[in-house]
Structure 1
Amino acid sequence: MTVTTQLSSTYNKKILKQAHNRKRILVAPLCWGLGHATRCIPIINALISQGLEPVIASDGGALELLKKEFPKLSAFELPSYNISYSKKSNGFKLKFLKASPHILKTIKRERKRIEQLVETENIDGIISDNRFGVRHKAIPSVYITHQLNVLSGKTTWLSSKWHQDIIKKFDECWVPDFEHSPNLSGELGHTKRQLNNVKYIGPLSRFKKQTSEENIDILVILSGPEPQRTQLEKKLLFELKNKKESVVFVRGLVEGKQKMTIIDNIKMYNYMTSNELETAINSSKLIVSRSGYTTIMDLAKLGKKAIFIPTPGQFEQLYLAKKLSENSSIPFIEQDNFSFKDLNFNTTYTGFKAMEAECNYKKLFGLF
């Protein structure tokens, strides 16, 4: 490339930047189920309301979901981590260790892709939700996580230190929880180790509480990596069909078109939009789902009753389920032991109390 061509390219980018007249912020959630993507929805809406221009980047179902929610925004595909669970709960840690070389390669590919996007799309800032390689040394880069501590059994100290070392590479780390007790994440989002770049921004949810008639007896919300998502789906279908209770089943499969099928007393959707799911949750007497942190934030905001079935082998979900059960809020059942009789809601559990959390986004986005 000649000097003249370089100068012309730089000039054109400056003109393009002036034409936009808004700072462009790349928002990149991890595709591990849909939780990371859905909790970025309020962040994206807040960026728009503050006069910034979000640019979406992810892969798989997370990318497809955000493209459906924000069809007018620019969206780009990132390398996939291809994280999956083993069929047996005790095999997750070993499978994750075996996938480590692939994960490290993906981080390097992510870094290269981000360098390209920052250059070609005139990116002014980055918000990465648990994507390790989505940062850039020349612009403000933020990392979103509720896991300052990563629970992994006897190796928790090692996995936590490893994650905290990644967090330190970002300009800021936003934790979607309250800094002090009471809080939702417990020891996951609170650590004794000094991390100077951490900010607590309050729980994130895309939903609003509505006053609705509760005409759905049981709402099942599925998400998460395979094969455990499918295994739970099969088990719940077997237990819930041919019952007198009305059941709505959201499979968590983001596809080209929404599909709805009826099986006896069950209405099954492959996915729902945010507005549809908001209405369904508000209209439900009981929610059955994984104990993923994003789901917990959503149900806590809406003040709903639920029963959690933690993903087998995932320490984080089991910890959160036990924490809520011990607080007499939400019961949980292990997947292998679940049966229909477990859905008779125990009155000793209070369910969530509706929770509000206000974030000063103008101040938060001042970093950019």
Structure 2
Amino acid sequence: MQKSKNILVAPLNWGLGHATRCIPIINAIIENGDRPIIASDGQALALLRKEFEKEAFIELPSYGIEYGEDGQNLKLKMLKDSPKIWMAIRNEHKMLHSIILKHQIAGIISDNRLGLYSNIVPSVIITHQLQVLSGNTTWLSTQLHLHYIKKYDYCWIPDVEGLESLSGKLSQNDDYEIEKVYLGPLSRFKNTDNYQKKYDLMILLSGPEPQRNILEKKLLEEVKRYTGEVLFIAGKIEKEQRFLKKGLLTYYNYLSTDGLQKALDRSEVILCRSGYTTIMDLQKMNKKAFFIPTPGQFEQEYLAQLLDQKGIVPQASQIDFKIEMLSQIINYKGLGSIQIFTTSLSSVLRETFSNVNENSEPIPNSLST
């Protein structure tokens, strides 16, 4: 019988989507009898500490990704911050060998952290961005991303290939140098289809600051004109959970996965960002929604427009949104109308790391990543 393996799981700290879509992967590692070693920084690390209190954690260098208050200048801000981002990538790569040695890592799963590739143990990068949209610099941003993806042994894509793709052109790329594995959509939730509605509207916020906070303030004003029961999840991972009930509004700073599962079950429609992880969750939960993409984030704007044009989910810009626009939802099919497969994560994990055994010879100190 093989000894259990230590698998490093490291999501990017950019909003909470990368961390939350790693939750089913971490659960599958545990179900396989192996041990996850969880590495990230900031809010992503805080969230996973709350979800997996008994596991081991490592803090990695922060990429320091933030939005300006004017979302339309995001590309310029990212360009300005690029030296800081590249330094964080280099630093996490320098840390990797010592992490492998200290924790006897048998394999690496990185969700969009670009420096965690290795020539010692198998390394996987999870991304749905085989095309990185950035306006008139899309070709350049895509090539930069592919440069790092190709350093990994495998690229796991949380989508399906071809016309049924949930993320459209983002996850499609015919570059033969990339060892692609299409997993189907990843979600930490289960579709129970067995609930009694409690909330007419659930507002689910996420994403980097300050845009998350800007939208929170706007929507707290907008819901004053809403006549139904509202559940407001602010998406702020803080030390203590905060709860407020005022009239028809129920407010939480954050909810755990179990809490969000119950909240989604009991909510009629969802108002949220059009982040890809959120889209996968709502598709899994068979929900109708309304999207407000993060200003200046080309990917979210593309996904919102794509699903709007297909008659699946309506959307509006952050500056234009009014609560009365939610009446449009009835004319759209909802994300539950999209039926696509998901693969067995346990099987993919076993296949990817099948040739790595902790009973093998220890990793020598002279090797480098």
Q: TM-score normalized by structure 2?
A: 0.92
Residues 218-227 or 240-249, more deviating: 240-249
Q: Alignment partner for residue 357 of structure 1, among 326, 332, 341?
A: 341
| Shift in Å, 1:72 | 0.8
Change (3 A) 1:56 1:346: closer
Contact 2:290 2:313 in 1 (8 A): yes
Q: Does 1:154 align with 2:136?
A: yes
Letter in 2 for 1:367: T
| Shift in Å, 1:243 | 3.5
The corresponding residue for 2:178 is 196
Aligned-residue RMSD, C-alpha? 1.5
| Shift in Å, 1:358 | 3.3
* SS of corresponding position for 2:314: coil
Contact 2:157 2:171 in 1 (8 A): yes
Letter in 1 for 2:344: N
The corresponding residue for 2:357 is none
Q: Which has the higher contact order (CA 8 A, sep 6+)?
A: 2
Contact 1:301 1:356 in 2 (8 A): no
Tell me the alpha carbon deviations over residues 227-255 of structure 1, each in whole angstroms, 9 at most, x when there is no partner: 10000000000000264211111111111
| Shift in Å, 1:263 | 3.3
Letter in 1 for 2:217: K
| Shift in Å, 1:362 | 4.2
The corresponding residue for 1:60 is 42
Give, in whole Å, the separation in 1 of the partners of 2:344 and 2:284. 18
Taking the TM superposition and a 5 Å limit, the aligned residue runs for 1:95-174 are 95-174=77-156
Contact 2:290 2:329 in 1 (8 A): no
The corresponding residue for 2:359 is none
The corresponding residue for 1:73 is 55
Give, in whole Å, the separation in 2 of the partners of 1:104 and 1:282. 41
The corresponding residue for 1:295 is 278
Structure 1: 5+ residue stretches without partners = 1-17
Q: Alignment partner for residue 188 of structure 2, among 206, 211, 215?
A: 206
Q: Structure 1 segments of 4 or more deviating over 4 A?
A: none
| Shift in Å, 1:192 | 3.7
Taking the TM superposition and a 5 Å limit, the aligned residue runs for 1:334-353 are 334-353=317-336
Aligned length: 350
Q: Does 1:327 align with 2:310?
A: yes
Give, in whole Å, the separation in 2 of the partners of 1:179 and 1:53. 30
Q: Does 1:271 align with 2:273?
A: no
* SS of corresponding position for 1:248: strand
* SS of corresponding position for 2:331: coil
Tell me the alpha carbon deviations over residues 190-248 of structure 1, each in whole angstroms, 9 at most, x when there is no partner: 02433431110110001011211122011011110111000000000000026421111
Q: TM-score normalized by structure 1?
A: 0.92
Give, in whole Å, the separation in 2 of the partners of 1:124 and 1:251. 37
Contact 1:85 1:227 in 2 (8 A): yes
Taking the TM superposition and a 5 Å limit, the aligned residue runs for 1:34-45 are 34-45=16-27
| Shift in Å, 1:165 | 1.1
| Shift in Å, 1:356 | 6.0
Tell me the alpha carbon deviations over residues 292-332 of structure 1, each in whole angstroms, 9 at most, x when there is no partner: 00000000011100000000000000000011001100000
Tell me the alpha carbon deviations over residues 117-165 of structure 1, each in whole angstroms, 9 at most, x when there is no partner: 1111111100000001122220000000010000000110110111111
| Shift in Å, 1:340 | 1.4
Contact 2:295 2:318 in 1 (8 A): yes
The corresponding residue for 2:352 is 367
